[in-house]
């Protein structure tokens, strides 16, 4: 049986709407590494329509990720 893991950007006060408006001030290399390693560990990603559309233009040109989250 497979596991389902959910990853979300959530502020300490529970805000999860429009992360592009509030996360960038707090984004560091360490946060990026954690996100990328979590994505690399997954064998399938389920994206919402808007996220998929934003990623679809970028991902075909990217090298496959390794388990460490690096290309």
Residue 1 to residue 3: CA distance in whole angstroms: 7
Q: Give the pTM.
A: 0.56
**Overall average pLDDT of the 51-66 stretch:** 77
- Beta-carbon contacts of 67 under 8 Å, excluding residues fewer than 6 positions away, are 37, 40, 41
Q: Is the pLDDT of residue 67 over 80?
A: no
Q: Would you kindly state where each structural domain of the chain is located, as residue ranges? A: 1-71
Note whether 35 and 42 are within 8 A (CB): no
Residue 48 to residue 29: CA distance in whole angstroms: 25
pLDDT digits (tens, 9 = 90+) for 18-40: 877 877 888 899 988 888 888 88
Residue 37 to residue 27: CA distance in whole angstroms: 15
State the pLDDT confidence band at 65, using cuts at 50, 70 and 90: low
């Amino acid at each position: 049986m497979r596991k389902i893991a959910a990853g979300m950007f959530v502020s300490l006060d529970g805000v999860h709407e429009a992360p592009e408006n509030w996360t960038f001030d707090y984004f560091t290399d360490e946060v990026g590494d954690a996100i990328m390693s979590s994505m690399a560990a997954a064998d399938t990603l389920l994206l919402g329509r808007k996220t998929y559309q934003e990623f679809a233009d970028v991902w075909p040109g990217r090298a496959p990720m390794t388990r460490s989250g690096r290309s």
